[in-house]
Homo-oligomer: A and B are copies of this chain.
Amino acid sequence: MLYGIGVGPGDPELVTRKAWRLIGGLPVLAYPASAPGESFARSIVAEAIPADIETIEIVIPIRPQEVTVEESYGRAAETIAARLDSGRDVGVLCLGDPLFYGSFIYLMDRLADRFPCEIVPGVTSFSAGAAASGRPLTLRNDVFAVIPATLAEDVLADRLGQADSAAILKVGRHLAKVRRVIARLGLSDNATYVANATLAGEVVAPLAAAPQTAAPYFSMVLVRKESGS
């Protein structure tokens, strides 16, 4: 069985009981890493991982050079397939929730036709961000949108304009663009900036008070319009 295991936003206590139990009992665990030895997903659940199991580190560099992202996932899938073929269950750790913009999707696409697959959902980044903000994210008849900050400015403005509430994710170096869009829509007073939710470096601030420089990769802007609903 191939398990896609959501480990949540960063706090080890925000891992589900089911994920923690599986991680403590599977013979093989795979996890994404931005560089050899650097896996945020693994670090979240390190305490649950037994010492003597097999681990597969899936290095997906942030700026791929010699090996493309496609090739990295392809190789990882083959390594995982070999373990599954030998009769061993494999758990793949995924930040947040596996099927919500999750890296696990790229492995599942390559393996789910050949092997039984079970997904363990996790707490999403925006749930953690909203909890840190202490403000309602979305309610009643709101249409809630999750909008990647990577989109072109006009598309971002259009999508945010359509929604009643929104989480703009992966803000990072797009913070200035996100600010402009929010100002354009008159939503500056409705926007909250959250970085590193649930982690030691967590920052929560009204968008106006957020840093002027680029934000960390794990940052978001939450917006709720007060009219309607």
Q: Which residues of A contact B (CB under 8 A)?
A: 6, 8-9, 11-18, 20-21, 97-102, 105, 108-109, 112, 117, 119-124, 127-128, 130-132, 134-148, 150-151, 159, 162-163
A137–B102 Cα distance when bound, in Å, is 9
CB distance A141 to B130 under 8 Å?
no
Question: A221 to chain B: closest CB distance in Å?
Answer: 15
Bound-state Cα–Cα, A15 to B21, Å: 12
How many copies of the shown chain assemble into the complex? Answer: 2
11 contacts between A and B (CB under 8 A): A13-B21, A99-B130, A99-B136, A117-B134, A119-B131, A119-B132, A120-B131, A122-B123, A124-B124, A141-B151, A143-B151
State A132–B119 Cα separation when bound (angstroms). Answer: 7
Q: State the 4 A-B residue pairs at the shortest beta-carbon distance, nearest first.
A: A13-B18, A121-B127, A119-B131, A99-B130
CB distance from A108 to the nearest CB of B (A): 7
* Residues B138 and A119 in contact, CB atoms below 8 Å apart: no
- Which of B16, B97, B143, B159 touches A15 (beta carbons < 8 Å)? B16
Contact of A14 with B16 in the complex, beta carbons under 8 Å: yes
Q: Which residues of B contact A148 (CB under 8 A)?
A: 140-143
Would you call B150 and A141 a contact (CB within 8 A)?
Answer: yes
- Inter-chain CA distance A142–B99, complex, in Å, is 12
Residue among B15, B101, B112, B123 making CB contact with A139, cutoff 8 Å: B101
Partner of A101, one of B9, B119, B128, B140: B140
Are the CB atoms of B122 and A127 closer together than 8 Å?
yes
